[in-house]
Amino acid sequence: MALPGFLQRERIVARPGFNRWLIPPAALAVHLCIGQAYATSVYKAALVEDFGTSQTAIGIVFSIAIVMLGLSAALFGTWVDRNGPRAAMFTSACFWVSGFVVGGIGIQTGQLWLLYLGYGVIGGIGLGIGYISPVSTLIKWFPDRPGLATGMAIMGFGGGALVASPLSRQLMSWYDPAYDPATPGSVPSGAAVAALFFTFAAVYLVFMMFGAFIVRVPAEGWRPAGWDPASVKRKSLVTSESVSAANAVKTPQFWLLWVVLFCNVTAGIGILEQAAPMIQDFFRTGDTSTVAATAAAGFVGVLSLFNMAGRFVWSSTSDYIGRKPIYMVYLGVGLVLYVLLATVGSSATWLFVILAAVILSFYGGGFATIPAYLRDLFGTYQVGAIHGRLLTAWSAAGVAGPLIVNSVLDTQGEPGSLVAANYRPALFIMVGLLAVGFVANLLVRPVASKWHEPRHDDATTSPTPARSAVR
């Protein structure tokens, strides 16, 4: 299907003199909006009460959205690469905003299936397309600092939840005066949640369209002033060749990185999933914990900050030390920290907090660095599509992580009576997963030349293959 003219890639090729520092805010405008997906817990209790259903029935909404994120990123990745970031951001905005509208109508009319369809399926498609939409564009604008560039955007995804959580509480307290976010146990009405959904739809539409309309792609052969592509080629594992998405999934490198991402994300979710009860259980004596509920909520905030900061700091660091070494840190040092958390984490609160915070920074870093790792191995040609396919590892980890932790804790006792020792089996499973990821990362080698796309004879300065010239 032909795109309207204003969305076509040819219309957004930047002219000489365009300032590339306009691209990160375009990417952030999208990622800050779709990052709301991690703030759904704010109104979960309200939906459980409004629909008169179980926690699981409402929790499924988030699970559907994350599964749809992975599926849509994998399915539409090639379309995103072919049509460019404006078409992708525009489409993502339409799906994400429609998801809120349909979901809001579902809450308003008491139709749970509409919430599943709206926020879960339609919104989830917007999530997947939006997540990958700016990635390859950023990599092309910042060939000298791809880790920094993708780190900024993916930091925005983490930041989106930090914005949406307090904003949701504030808005719902306006829509339902009986709701007081400061009072424990206070729950907003379903109508307030529906109104919140409609408000988000309007605000996110404006923000995401702003991103879509300021984004540009660099002209063929463009490079930053004073930057020499040869300086990149000299680094091991970094290719100046191009591999298509269809071929990338046939290489062992793709699947090794799939395992790396899966293990890193699963290990991070292991802590994120249980953060608040976990810190209380680690410092429990009998029926009481030395960590109060408010302090436990503060711990979740600390983890969110480190998760977000890790996306930017570690991904930027990878530009200097290389992608493979930084994943050795995420997985190797992460493994040691997990062992320390399991064995001596309960000896002092400050030690527990530091260990968990650094582990979560590695979790964020793993997300943010993966696009640059893919660029190094497969080139920029279809890196967005390859990234989309790799995000199925996130969907799988989103199911596996909570499943591992919850099923292990279920065998250890009742919530509210667990202590540090009850967490050890789950934590050591995560240690094993990190070891698997560490080995997978060690096995990554440059992609075999048989997978490279044919090049123009004169294309010594541009890695774009002949095929892309006619697309």
Partner 1 sequence: MSTSISKEQSGDGQPAVHTPAAFIAFAWTLVGVPLAYGLYQTVKTASSLFTG
Identify which of residues 367 and 438 has a Cβ nearer to partner 1 in the complex.
Answer: 367
In angstroms, what is the minimal distance from the CB of 425 to partner 1?
Answer: 26
Question: Measured at the alpha carbon of residue 29, what is the angle toward residues 390 and 128, in degrees to the nearest 5?
Answer: 25
The DSSP bridge partners found for residue 191 are none
User: CB within 8 A of 342, min separation 6: which ones?
Assistant: 423, 424, 427, 428, 431
Q: Among residues 236, 285, 294, 411, which is the contact residue for partner 1, using CB under 8 A?
A: 294
Q: CA 257, CA 274: separation in Å to the nearest integer?
A: 26
Using the rule CB under 8 A, which residue among 244, 251, 304, 382 binds partner 1? 304
Sole binder of partner 1 in the list 40, 72, 136, 165 (CB under 8 A): 165
d(CA 110, CA 50): 8
What's the closest the beta carbon of residue 159 comes to partner 1, in angstroms? 5
**18 part of the interface to partner 1, by CB under 8 A:** yes
CB 318 within 8 A of CB 369: yes
Say whether residue 353 binds partner 1 (CB under 8 A).
Answer: yes
Residue 146: alpha-carbon gap to chain centroid: 17
Q: Is 16 in the site for partner 1 (CB under 8 A)?
A: yes
- Asked if residue 166 binds partner 1 (CB under 8 A), the reply is yes
C-alpha to C-alpha distance for 141 and 25, rounded to whole angstroms: 13
Give the Cα separation of 238 and 47 in Å (integer).
Answer: 48
202 binds partner 1 (CB under 8 A): no
Q: Cβ atoms within 10 A of the Cβ of 440, count? A: 21
The helix or strand, by DSSP H or E, that contains position 454, with its residue range, turns out to be: none
| Residue 28 lies near partner 1 (rule: CB under 8 A) | yes
The distance of closest approach from Cβ of residue 268 to partner 1 in the complex, given in angstroms and rounded to an integer, is 18
Among 59, 229, 298, 325, binds partner 1 (CB under 8 A): 298
Is 222 near partner 1 (CB under 8 A)?
Answer: no
Min. distance of Cβ 431 from partner 1 in angstroms?
25
State which residue, 175 or 299, has the beta carbon closest to partner 1. 299
Nearer to partner 1, 26 or 278 (CB): 26
The smaller minimum CB distance to partner 1, of residues 54 and 170, is found at: 170
User: Of these, 45, 232, 249, 300, which contacts partner 1 (CB under 8 A)?
Assistant: 300
Q: Which residues of 160-190 are buried (b: 16+ CB within 10 A; e: fewer)?
A: bbbebbebbbebbbebbeebeeeeeeebbbb
As a whole number of angstroms, the distance between CA 2 and CA 382 comes to: 20
Is 167 a binder of partner 1 (CB under 8 A)? yes
* Contact assessment for residue 397 and residue 261, using Cβ atoms and an 8 Å cutoff: yes
CB nearer to partner 1: pick between 118 and 310: 310
Pick from 2, 4, 5, 15 the residue near partner 1 by CB under 8 A.
Answer: 15
CA 105/CA 180 separation, integer angstroms: 24
> 292 vs 403, which CB is nearer to partner 1?
292
Residues that bind partner 1 (CB under 8 A): 14-19, 21-22, 25-26, 28-29, 32, 156, 159, 161-167, 207, 210, 213-214, 292, 294-302, 304-305, 353
